[in-house]
């Protein structure tokens, strides 16, 4: 296969930034997107850009005390389009980007950095209550309802020992993620479960109703 026959990625717009970018998300139903990360001085930053005439225009820059690792619009309504973020201090915040001085929702979600975040119930997609799932370096996965303060509606913590479960015709050793949940791959309300992965070379499906891992897989390579 020649170079011209391979899939090509064409750069539409390119812009240099003066901070480390950890995540970026399109603002729903708009030509805008947000970038999230941290400055070299150790503070967090959210920038809002809009595509205008083939160029990027910076609309707003928001600096916060803690570096921001991840964000999602998944639990927001199309009218509000609030951004939920997880930061290096283990905090879950929801921001109104039009008035970002104070979060509209704030909770100390984890003991360590929130590595990943996702949301459901917003943007006119699916059904059910708006909910946010977070995964942290502390090894826990938590589900939050923004209408409920302080406490998560579900909390999946590492198991203390190995157990065995039957999954269909296969018997799998259930090895819980003991440290550093890196990614929540998907969250579904129909089956009340979410998929996670971590640095222990393992992944699993977390059962939200029961608060434990329904099954886990281990591999020789990183997930």
Q: CB–CB of 93/117 below 8 Å?
A: no
> Cα(102)–Cα(158) distance, rounded to whole angstroms?
33
Q: How confident is the model at residue 43 (pLDDT cuts 50, 70, 90)?
A: very high
- Comparing 105 with 183, which gets the higher pLDDT? 105
How many CA within 13 A on the CB side of residue 6?
Answer: 6
Domains of the chain (ranges; CATH) run: 11-218 (2.130.10.10)
Please tell me the predicted confidence (pLDDT) of residue 9.
Answer: 85
Predicted model pTM:
0.71
Cα 185 to Cα 9, 60, 223: the distances in Å are: 24, 29, 11
Q: What is the DSSP string of 167-195?
A: ETTEEEEE----S-EEEEEEEETTTTEEE
Contacts of 6 (CB under 8 A, 6+ apart): none
For residue 204, list its beta bridge partners. Answer: 196, 216
- Whether the per-residue pLDDT at 4 is higher than 80: the answer is no
> Cα(110)–Cα(180) distance, rounded to whole angstroms?
12
């Amino acid at each position: 296969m020649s170079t011209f026959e391979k899939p090509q990625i064409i750069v539409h717009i390119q812009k240099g930034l003066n901070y480390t970018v950890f995540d970026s998300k399109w603002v729903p139903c708009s030509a805008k997107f947000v970038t999230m990360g941290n400055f070299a001085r150790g503070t967090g930053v959210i920038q809002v850009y809009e595509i205008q005439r083939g160029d990027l225009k910076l609309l707003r820059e928001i600096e916060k005390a803690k570096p921001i690792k991840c964000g999602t619009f998944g639990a927001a309504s199309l009218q509000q389009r609030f951004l939920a973020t997880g930061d290096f201090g283990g905090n879950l915040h929801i921001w109104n980007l039009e008035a970002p001085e104070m979060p509209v929702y704030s909770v100390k979600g984890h003991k360590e950095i929130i590595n990943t975040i996702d949301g459901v119930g917003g943007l006119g997609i699916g059904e059910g209550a708006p909910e946010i799932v977070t995964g942290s370096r502390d090894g826990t996965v938590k589900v939050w309802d923004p209408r409920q303060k302080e406490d998560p509606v579900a909390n999946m913590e590492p198991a203390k020992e190995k157990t065995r479960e039957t999954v269909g015709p296969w018997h799998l050793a259930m090895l819980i993620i003991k440290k550093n949940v890196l990614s929540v791959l998907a969250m579904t309300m129909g089956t009340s479960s979410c998929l996670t992965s971590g640095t222990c070379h393992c992944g699993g499906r977390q059962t939200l109703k029961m608060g434990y891992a329904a099954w886990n897989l281990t591999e020789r390579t990183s997930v």
